[in-house]
Chain A
């Protein structure tokens, strides 16, 4: 049996800010289709920078390393092309966009991706049917869709809206950046259910989180500890539990 081709392969990735500060200092990570990975680490370890660099946010300089996504160089693609190729980021802080209707936005996004894949665009009726099926899953009222993107949404609504978008866009690789932060226990359950529903053999999920909390609901196959811009320890789900107990401070010593 041949090993599965990795969906995402990060090799020796170094990234720094415009002011020269190096945030990522040699990341190595392989993610295969069907896997769920958790990347944990203390504040300032580079978790969000990793998500930003992978999704193509401007303001970072890649000083070394490669990222291969579905056999292509991810870093060579602009942010919108990465998305059309099936990469999705659930934002830690979803952006409010006044004046842009949530439905209109989502349909534009889906159709941009469908065009890219050579599929016909969804008309209003088809789109609405698809929306209704997924709304239930995330316990979102239809009124939320008639509002401007994230404007006036509560913290929980914003996070649910992110996972709802993920459910609609059906990405190949989803990166969830601190999706559990700011959620109460009920909202966390809803979001976790939404994520679990989307686990699939041809899809990979990378969860970036500070706490073990979400991992109690979405069980990862692999857990990595990020510290000072490097992955210093990897293991299975038990590592997350252990980290919760002993804290990040002891990681270096244990490794």
Chain B
């Protein structure tokens, strides 16, 4: 008899919670207890969604390293010492936060929504004067004032709930943001979303965000994640792109040196929709970005780019799944990894082409620089192709800086460290070059340069 099949009798012996009648993994118990202490008063459709998430998390617990999607990241520190959801703090130091905003934020953002410790901070935000047909607000506010914009996403989720931390997020999210762009509306300048952790409380920050881009609309966001202290950010963003919508999302992750950052991007693309996603993992103890893109309509275009820059004992994992369910979709992926010190990074990229998705054209590139003997990067491309008339390719490389290029720069008088920095910067910059408009691109290049200047001191 196969041992992996767990007899029903044995399952019964798993400890039961006092308030629930399903099996609970030990590491999930503190979170389950915390759920019982949540304030009530939310609509029932949201409550049901939360309970489904809680049940799922309690049953499955933390992701298991034996599962393929989580094998490259070490979550033991998080598992052993729970970081329970942070409640509303309300008294964060405004002056310090404003200073932090000056450091982190885009100087010329037209619209800015700031979340402090996972909750919308209207006093630090600037959301007035948006074009009519555009809704931008906190998730909690939206649930209260415009439930029509979000209810369907919770009542009839478009993604399966297998993801453990997405399930936990469903149970605990306190806020987030909602951007709803009516059909045909074009937002010319990026909307800036800043997620700040004040450092006041150790705990987890669960934010749930939803972007709905109507047919033929156009828009983009820059999300910056930054903070102080030890915390666990568990952020979920869902993007729904209707037919012909164009949307760009940049995630700039500059968390504190003690922070865990888990970011989940879920996107559904309608016919001829275009998505451009860029993620830069520049700061945090442990960072993970997972993107799941469902190309449900024909002729979609999906550009996924990203990079991590790691040193000391940092860890990062980028996981992407692009699922082509309809014909003639295009996917372009470029991911860059840099690891120094004793850091460890990993990229896992899956592209699925379903049987009916003929004429799909997908290309994936994963390039990685390992700058010290104790650093490591894993890269794992996976193409699953079930249609016969497709163009799919991938390339992956792990290496060191080009010695010939380094020598060439040095023969022109550029010092060794600066020459190295120039080459690393050039290597990562490729993923930023296509970002518009120019001030946003310059901002990202400056943040990258800032990170690299610290990297070289550590090498």
Point out residues on A near B: beta carbons under 8 Å: 55-58, 78-80, 82-84, 88-89, 91, 94-100, 105-106, 108-109, 112-113, 116, 148-149, 165, 169
Q: Is B386 an interface residue (CB 8 A)?
A: no
A113 near B427 (CB under 8 angstroms)? no
Q: Is B423 an interface residue (CB 8 A)?
A: yes
Q: A57-B407, A95-B404, A97-B408 are in contact. Are A109 and B429 (CB under 8 A)?
A: no
Q: Is B412 an interface residue (CB 8 A)?
A: yes
B408 near A169 (CB under 8 angstroms)? no
A97's partner among B413, B416, B423, B430 (CB-CB below 8 A) is B423
A108 near B422 (CB under 8 angstroms)? yes
How far is it, in angstroms, between the C-alpha of A83 and the C-alpha of B426 when the chains are bound?
A: 22
Q: Is B33 an interface residue (CB 8 A)?
A: no
Q: Is B411 an interface residue (CB 8 A)?
A: yes
B422 near A88 (CB under 8 angstroms)? no
8 A Cβ contacts from B397-416 to A:
402-405, 407-416
A55's partner among B411, B414, B422 (CB-CB below 8 A) is B411
Of the listed residues B413, B418, B422, the one surrounded by the most CB atoms of chain A closer than 10 A to its CB is B413
Q: Is B419 an interface residue (CB 8 A)?
A: yes
How far is it, in angstroms, between the C-alpha of A160 and the C-alpha of B417 when the chains are bound?
A: 28
B413 near A116 (CB under 8 angstroms)? yes
B413's partner among A91, A113, A149 (CB-CB below 8 A) is A113
B413 near A78 (CB under 8 angstroms)? no
Of the listed residues B402, B408, B426, the one surrounded by the most CB atoms of chain A closer than 10 A to its CB is B408
How far is it, in angstroms, between the C-alpha of A91 and the C-alpha of B404 when the chains are bound?
A: 11
B414 near A97 (CB under 8 angstroms)? no
A169 near B413 (CB under 8 angstroms)? yes
A88's partner among B407, B411, B427 (CB-CB below 8 A) is B411
Contacts of B425 in A (CB 8 A): 99
Contacts of B416 in A (CB 8 A): 78, 80
B413 near A98 (CB under 8 angstroms)? no
B426 near A109 (CB under 8 angstroms)? no
B414's partner among A80, A94, A98 (CB-CB below 8 A) is A80
Known pairs A58-B407, A91-B408, A109-B413. 17 more at Cβ < 8 A?
Answer: A55-B411, A79-B407, A80-B415, A80-B416, A80-B419, A82-B411, A83-B411, A84-B413, A95-B405, A97-B405, A99-B425, A99-B429, A100-B422, A100-B423, A106-B412, A112-B413, A113-B413
How far is it, in angstroms, between the C-alpha of A165 and the C-alpha of B405 when the chains are bound?
A: 16
- List 27 A-B pairs, Cβ < 8 Å: A57-B407, A58-B403, A58-B407, A79-B410, A79-B411, A80-B414, A83-B410, A83-B411, A83-B413, A84-B413, A88-B411, A91-B408, A95-B408, A96-B405, A97-B426, A98-B426, A99-B423, A99-B427, A100-B405, A100-B409, A100-B426, A106-B412, A108-B414, A109-B412, A112-B414, A112-B415, A149-B408
